[in-house]
Amino acid sequence: MASKLVRHSHLRALSSSISINNHIHSPHFSNPNRAPLSFSYRLFSNASSSSSSTGGFQRSSSLKDLELAKFASIAETWWDSEGPFKPLHVMNPTRLAFIRSTLCRHFRKDPNSARPFEGLKIVDVGCGGGILSEPLARMGATVTGVDAVEKNIKIARIHADLDPVASTIEYCCTTAEKLVEEDRKFDAVIALEVIEHVANPAEFCKSLAALTVPDGATIISTINRSMRSYATAIVAAEYLLHWLPKGTHEWSSFLTPEELVLILQRANITVREMAGFVYNPLTGRWSLSDDISVNFIAFGTKNCQ
Amino acid sequence: MFCTRVIARKLYVNVSRLKVRHKPFCTDAATRVSGSNCGQPSPEHKETHDLSNNIQHYDIAIVGGGMVGMALACSLASMPLTKHLNVAIIDSNPALGSRPYFNKEDPPDPRVSTVTPATISFFKDVGAWQYVEQHRHAYFDKMQVWDYTGLGYTRYNAQDINKEVLGCVVENKVLHGSLLSCIENTDFQKTIYPSKLSSMTLPPSPSSLGMDSTSSRPPLSSQRHLAKLELSDGNSLYTKLVVGADGGKSCVRELAGFKTTGWNYSQNAIICTVEHTVENGCAWQRFLPAGPIALLPMGDNFSNIVWTMNPKESTNRKLMNEDEFVKDVNNALDYGYGPHPTSSLFGSGEMFSWPRAGVTLSANDCFEVPPKVVKLASERMVFPLSLRHASDYVSKHVVLIGDAAHTVHPLAGQGVNMGFGDAFALSRVIAEGIAVGSDIGEVTVLKKYEAERKPANIMMMGILDGFQKAYSVDFGPLNILRAAALHGAHFISPLKRSIISYASGEQKLPLFT
């Protein structure tokens, strides 16, 4: 096993010298008023793509099968904005605001355009029911959505066909590794809430990097391994608020921002921006913030060789 | 016998073939077939013309092209993220089809609105205020509110809230015409349907998107996620979002099944234009036993009257001769029902003097008598008063704005300002949704609009209803309390400022700012 699972403790030791540029630049969407409380929780939207990292690794297949079964059982409710995926629907605009802001700047697109991503090829790794893919398509991108759960892909396809704009999305039941084998390339590779369900994050990042064109963008969101994330994502979200089914997350498999920056660096991707998501229980909305202690999202660019 | 029957059948066949041939023109019939053979709709956010039938697709259909509906259209046309939207406006009002033209010599129409500084800045943002300024309008920077008991009065000045004006009185037709002119001068894609909504079919909820439908059923048509509107002239259209801007008796609200709560005040308002010998520069409101009378400046020597009273009085006053009516109005605005209030009551304001501390310049303003009315300058119109509020403003693919969502007492002229506030908020929420690639018919997008507007509207409705109730009882102790409230509002400057701020459309809670 050449790609041995990188031990978190090892990574943590290395990461102390890395400084993270967590400058947020999204004047239209970031909320300057930080919520006094910030309950956050881990999203499990793309958990199914855990398989993508495991491609040929037998070891993690049991976990994968369990996760696949878990998400397949609620796949039909993907598009019910009042259903089990409600928290995700509520959070989606905030994730997209970050994506819009960073990609518009990197690719020099007009932020006042209704379709700023026109001309960009984007892959949504772990697309689930297509909650992220459809908005990206409406914003003008040429979108490929991949997910390891066939049922998700079916749901995504049916739903996308309801809207002429979204019907242009290419959905495939496949993994990031297989796309690499097919030698596919994208201007931007997006994997939201996937990496914490993956057996080998370092290998997964290498696959994402291989899918990204030189000077292209890679965006990853996940949950931090902090005391606050334990309190909010596991105790609050799973046990107190019942937002998520119990056992959705395994805290020890979370990555800290420093660790993520490091493994992306090794995959030839430089993290340029990082932001946190905070939930305001009074307004019921999420906003972007400097606070990366629970949910966070990273934007990186692939180095030109 | 046999022969004739055959002929009859032949005739019938011919007739039915004729009908078929007419089908392409009769869109209503054509829609029934549309579901299965929908064409290849364009992936652009553009009007798609379905070849198999004549049904147009739109991003937004605004039902009701009145002031609030047109304000929404203008606002959408003015923002970079929404100006590409393809919008249908459904209204049978012929004014929508023609360029507005007003004769400056005509006396002002009695249907006017008192627009707040917030509404004025909204009109400036969308580019419509310049057209208002070309027509008759009257800014006012002073306001006097008093009480028939002679116990209390209060005067507001624009400078109390650091504004140049408290508001502006504009004829509704001017506001509407300005919005029309504004939108005519953009390249916004809008289609006006001079018709009425007759039925609305909403798509099924997405939770019914089960797996069983994937295998057996044919591919779902793209129209499955659109609302279908059928119009009284036989036209039909598909849209992602239906906006009900069709007033207090909203058809959209009815068809979408929104519940409302409300009541009728057994009161009517008489509305008319009157003339003075001098120009009036102040808004006046006096609370009388049966309800308030307001005298609003309208430019030149004209003013507008909104006078609330019981239905019997309103019938009498509508029918009485003009001279008598003018006499009644002057009486109501001067010594009728009770004396002029003086500030010497309540110990010459001593008990309220502590918070003054040099802030309340206008507190020293003396009570004034409004200018005399010399002539009635329009017909007298009578409207019943009611309060109505929809329990929800949004559902999937449908949203209510303006009077369709809330109908109020015209007490402070707040009704249309609330509607403009709705239009502005909704267009902004739509723009924010488009920025992040949302489907604009999604309820999660629309809920943001509801969350923003409902508390603001309920608060304003509560204030207006409270005022109405407080002044519909003529009972000694209550009168004194009421007068004390007016007195208090007059002298306690920070409180007064926040009340006017709220009444002038600023999005803050009174008292807590």
Check which CATH number belongs to the domain holding B153 and give it: 3.50.50.60
- Name the residue with higher pLDDT: A220 or B477: A220
DSSP states of A71-97:
HHTTGGGTT-TTSTTHHHHHHHHHHHH
CATH code for the domain in which residue A103 is found: 3.40.50.150
Q: Do A165 and B435 touch (CB under 8 A)?
A: no
Q: Do B80 and A96 touch (CB under 8 A)?
A: no
The DSSP secondary-structure symbol of B49 reads B
- Name the residue with higher pLDDT: B308 or B34: B308
pLDDT of residue B401: 96
Task: Answer whether A135 touches B (CB < 8 Å).
Answer: yes
Task: Answer whether B227 touches A (CB < 8 Å).
Answer: no
The long-range contacts involving B52-56, CB below 8 angstroms and separated by at least 24 positions, are B53/B24, B53/B27, B54/B24, B54/B27, B54/B30, B55/B27, B55/B30, B55/B31, B55/B236, B55/B237, B55/B238, B56/B88, B56/B191, B56/B237, B56/B238
Structure tokens at A34: 């930080």
Other C-beta atoms closer than 10 Å to the C-beta of A59 total: 12
Task: Answer whether B349 touches A (CB < 8 Å).
Answer: no
Q: Do A164 and B42 touch (CB under 8 A)?
A: yes
Task: Answer whether A150 touches B (CB < 8 Å).
Answer: no
DSSP states of A196-248:
GG-S-HHHHHHHHHHHEEEEEEEEEEEE--SHHHIIIIIIIIIIIS-SS-TTS
Task: Answer whether A57 touches B (CB < 8 Å).
Answer: no
pLDDT of residue B462: 72
Classify residue A58 as exposed, middle or buried by CB count within 10 Å of its CB (0-12, 13-18, 19+). exposed
Residue B398: pLDDT band (50, 70, 90) is very high
pLDDT at residue B311 above 60? yes
Residues in chain B: 513
Structure tokens at A204: 């997964």
Q: For A188-197, what is each residue's pLDDT tens digit?
A: 999 998 888 8
Report yes or no: B123 and B132 within 8 Å, Cβ to Cβ: yes
**A55: CB partners within 8 A, 6+ apart:** A175, A177, A178
Task: Answer whether B213 touches A (CB < 8 Å).
Answer: yes
* Tally of structural domains, chain A: 1
pLDDT of residue B222: 54
pLDDT of residue A65: 61
Share of chain B above pLDDT 90, in %: 39
Q: Which residue has the tokens 């979408």?
A: B256
Residues of B in Cβ contact (< 8 Å) with A87: none
Q: Do B220 and A28 touch (CB under 8 A)?
A: no
Residue B45: inside a domain: no
pLDDT at residue B32 above 60? no
Parent domain of B479? 56-203+223-344+358-504
CB contact residues (below 8 A), chain B span 119-148, against chain A: none
A229 vs B72: CA distance, rounded Å: 43
Task: Answer whether B209 touches A (CB < 8 Å).
Answer: yes
Residue B254: inside a domain: yes
pLDDT of residue A71: 63
Q: Do B209 and A158 touch (CB under 8 A)?
A: yes
pLDDT at residue B227 above 50? yes
Most trustworthy range by pLDDT among B68-82, B403-417, B493-507: B68-82
B118 vs B94: CA distance, rounded Å: 29
Q: Do B438 and A76 touch (CB under 8 A)?
A: no
pLDDT of residue B213: 41
Task: Identify which of B42, B211, B224 has the shortest CB distance to residue A76.
Answer: B211
Range of lowest pLDDT (A170-184, B109-123, B212-226, B407-421): B212-226
Task: Answer whether A83 touches B (CB < 8 Å).
Answer: yes
pLDDT at residue B94 above 80? yes
Residue B160: pLDDT band (50, 70, 90) is confident
Chain-wide mean pLDDT for chain B? 76
Q: For B408-443, what is each residue's pLDDT tens digit?
A: 766 555 688 999 999 999 999 999 999 999 999 888
A257 vs A11: CA distance, rounded Å: 11
Q: Do B222 and A79 touch (CB under 8 A)?
A: no
Q: Do B437 and A138 touch (CB under 8 A)?
A: yes
Tell me the backbone φ, ψ of residue B329, rounded to 5 degrees.
Answer: -65, -45
pLDDT of residue B359: 39
pLDDT of residue A224: 85
Kindly report the nearest CA distance between residue A87 and chain B, in angstroms.
11
* Tally of structural domains, chain B: 1
Cα angle: B124, vertex B130, B131; to 5 degrees: 120
pLDDT at residue B108 above 60? yes
Share of chain A above pLDDT 90, in %: 43
Kindly report the nearest CA distance between residue A253 and chain B, in angstroms.
30
Measured CA distances, B359 to B146, B355, B494 (Å): 21, 8, 9
Measured CA distances, A174 to A20, A209, A260 (Å): 32, 17, 24
pLDDT of residue B109: 87
B244 vs B401: CA distance, rounded Å: 6
Report yes or no: A199 and A57 within 8 Å, Cβ to Cβ: yes
Cα angle: B39, vertex B42, B48; to 5 degrees: 75
Task: Identify which of B42, B209, B433 has the shortest CB distance to residue A159.
Answer: B209
Report yes or no: B64 and B254 within 8 Å, Cβ to Cβ: no
Residues of A in Cβ contact (< 8 Å) with B442: 81
Task: Answer whether B41 touches A (CB < 8 Å).
Answer: yes
Residues of B in Cβ contact (< 8 Å) with A80: 205-207
Share of chain B above pLDDT 70, in %: 69
Q: Kindly report the pTM of this predicted structure.
A: 0.76
Measured CA distances, B379 to A181, B1, B301, B304 (Å): 81, 69, 17, 12
Q: Give me the total of CB pairs closer than 8 Å, taking one residue from chain A and one from chain B.
A: 92
What is the interface pTM, i.e. ipTM, of the complex?
0.73
Task: Answer whether A282 touches B (CB < 8 Å).
Answer: no
Report yes or no: A183 and A157 within 8 Å, Cβ to Cβ: no
pLDDT of residue B361: 42
Kindly report the nearest CA distance between residue B296 and chain A, in angstroms.
39
Measured CA distances, A297 to A8, B211, B460 (Å): 19, 32, 41
B79 vs B82: CA distance, rounded Å: 5
Asked whether residue A126 is marked as a ligand-binding residue, the answer is yes
Element containing residue B480 per DSSP (H, E): helix B476-491
Per DSSP, helices labelled H in B60-128 are 67-78, 117-126
pLDDT at residue B239 above 50? yes
- Name the residue with higher pLDDT: B19 or A190: A190
Parent domain of A149? 2-44+51-302
A127 vs A156: CA distance, rounded Å: 8
Task: Answer whether A73 touches B (CB < 8 Å).
Answer: no
Residue B504: pLDDT band (50, 70, 90) is low
Task: Answer whether B214 touches A (CB < 8 Å).
Answer: yes
Task: Answer whether B366 touches A (CB < 8 Å).
Answer: no
Residue A290: pLDDT band (50, 70, 90) is confident
Asked whether residue A196 is marked as a ligand-binding residue, the answer is yes
Residue B12: inside a domain: no
Report yes or no: B282 and B144 within 8 Å, Cβ to Cβ: yes
Task: Identify which of B82, B209, B443 has the shortest CB distance to residue A81.
Answer: B443
B49, B209, B224: best to mutate for the A interface, most A CBs within 10 A:
B209
Task: Answer whether B6 touches A (CB < 8 Å).
Answer: no
Q: Do A162 and B224 touch (CB under 8 A)?
A: yes
B486 vs B479: CA distance, rounded Å: 10
Structure tokens at A141: 């991108």
pLDDT at residue B329 above 90? yes
Task: Answer whether B297 touches A (CB < 8 Å).
Answer: no
pLDDT of residue A175: 92
Kindly report the nearest CA distance between residue A297 and chain B, in angstroms.
16
pLDDT at residue A68 above 80? no
Kindly report the nearest CA distance between residue B22 and chain A, in angstroms.
30
pLDDT of residue A69: 66
**B209: CB partners within 8 A, 6+ apart:** A76, A79, A155, A158, A159
Element containing residue B501 per DSSP (H, E): helix B493-503
DSSP states of B222-275:
GGGGSEEEEETTS-EEEEEEEEE-S-TT-HHHHHHT--EEEEEEEEEEEEEEEE
Q: For A248-271, what is each residue's pLDDT tens digit?
A: 677 667 888 999 999 999 999 999
pLDDT of residue B229: 95
DSSP states of B442-468:
-HHHHHHHHHHHHHHHHHHHHHHHHHH
- Residue B293, by phi and psi: left (phi above 0), alpha (psi -120 to 50) or beta? beta
Query: Which of A13, A12, A14, A30 lies closest to A22, judged by CA?
Result: A30
Asked whether residue A192 is marked as a ligand-binding residue, the answer is yes
Residue A75: pLDDT band (50, 70, 90) is low
pLDDT of residue A302: 95
Q: For A128-159, what is each residue's pLDDT tens digit?
A: 999 999 999 999 999 999 999 888 999 999 88
Q: For A192-222, what is each residue's pLDDT tens digit?
A: 988 888 888 999 999 999 999 999 999 999 9
The DSSP secondary-structure symbol of B369 reads P
Task: Identify which of A82, A113, A158 has the shortest CB distance to residue B220.
Answer: A158
Residue B155: pLDDT band (50, 70, 90) is confident
Residues facing residue B156 across a β-bridge: B143
pLDDT of residue A74: 65
Residue B349: inside a domain: no
Query: Which of A220, A171, A229 lies closest to A192, judged by CA?
Result: A220
Kindly report the nearest CA distance between residue A6 and chain B, in angstroms.
35
A239 vs A246: CA distance, rounded Å: 7
Residue B216: pLDDT band (50, 70, 90) is very low
